[in-house]
Amino acid sequence: MLYKVPDSVNHVIFHYLNKKQMRKLIPILLIILGVVMIYLSFKASILPPGITGVGFILIAVYMLERK
């Protein structure tokens, strides 16, 4: 059985961030995560994290342009 997050936690998270703010925040976090993944890929000289990072950045760009 999956763990259910208490309603109080969901209420706190979504009380401070409305949908408009979430639609801006998620792509920014994806871009940051993508850049970190690409950096780790170059640092360790391995390809999969770099490909994942590029994918995260493309998804973020799509989300930002979709408005």
Secondary structure of the chain: what % helix, strand, coil (to 5)? 80, 0, 20
DSSP one-letter string for 40-64: HHHHHT-SHHHHHHHHHHHHHHHHH
pLDDT tens track for 8-36: 665 666 666 777 788 888 999 999 999 99
SS3 state at 4? coil
Domain ranges of the chain: 18-65
pLDDT tens track for 35-59: 999 999 999 999 999 999 999 999 9
